[in-house]
Amino acid sequence: MKFVRFRLKDKVSYGIQEEDIVREITGSIFGDFQVKPEKFSLGEVSLLAPVEPSKVLCVGLNFRDHIAELGDPTPQVPSHFLKSPTSLIGPGDPVVFPRIARRVDYEGELAADGFLTSFDRPLLPPARRFGADRFLFSPRLGRRR
C-alpha cells in the first residue's frame, strides 16, 4: 500500500496509489481511514510531497561513503541542521538550486512517526503499533545522479 498526497483541481487530499490509479481516503494516514470508491488516473492529479511537516530536522555527515566522498574526517557526532518545510518537493518536481550555492548535496530520506525510510528501504524499525507497509512513502526528494 502506497500513500500519496495529491491535488485535484483546488482540493488537496491523501490517497492510496494502486499502479496508475489514485483513490482518495478519509480519516488519518496515521490511524484509521476509509478508502473512497472514486478513482482518479495519475494524469488527473498532481502528486505532492507526502506530508506537510512543521519543521524538517536534518542530520548531516552520517553516511561513511558520503564523508569519504567529501574527503572530510569522520565527526564524533553527526551535524544537525533545520530545513524549511517549503524545501520539500513532490515526485517529478524540479530541484531548484540556489543561485548563491557553490555545492548542493541531495538526498531523500523521510522520517515519519519514529521511523526512517531511504528510497523505500526501511532503515529504522517502525513504531510497534504500526505496520511498516503503512508508511512507505516515495518522495525521492531532490535526488539526482
Task: Delineate the domains of the chain, giving CATH numbers in brackets.
Answer: 2-48 (2.30.30.370), 56-135 (no CATH)
pLDDT in tens, the chain (145 residues): 889 999 999 999 999 999 999 999 999 888 899 999 999 999 999 999 888 888 888 887 777 887 888 888 888 887 888 888 888 888 888 888 888 988 776 666 555 544 444 444 444 444 333 343 344 443 433 333 3
pLDDT at 118: 42
Cβ–Cβ < 8 Å for 60, 81: yes
Q: How many residues does the chain have?
A: 145
* Host H or E run for residue 51: none
Cβ–Cβ < 8 Å for 51, 112: yes
